[in-house]
Amino acid sequence: MEVEEHAMRIMTAHRILIGAAIVFFVIYAAWEASGVAGGRGSFLRAALSGAGAVGLALYFRTLPRAEN
């Protein structure tokens, strides 16, 4: 039983880290899209960051939820 509780703590930490990564990708994509960084590759970096956020969000949805 202790192993199952430990596994849920790891899964909770994993969900928190994936959620933080999604937020980071969205903020970075918005920052690049606004042109703050400038340069020719700004739009490409924004698009790739947005794609990364979408990919992580789809992955996040497949993660099991903690049962209470």
Is the overall model pTM greater than 0.85, yes or no?
no
> Residue 43 is encoded by which pair of tokens?
């739009």
Residues 50-59: pLDDT tens digits?
A: 999 999 999 9
How does DSSP classify residue 65? P
Domain boundaries, the chain: 13-62
- 2 exposure class (CB count in 10 Å sphere: 0-12, 13-18, 19+): exposed
More confident residue, 66 or 54: 54
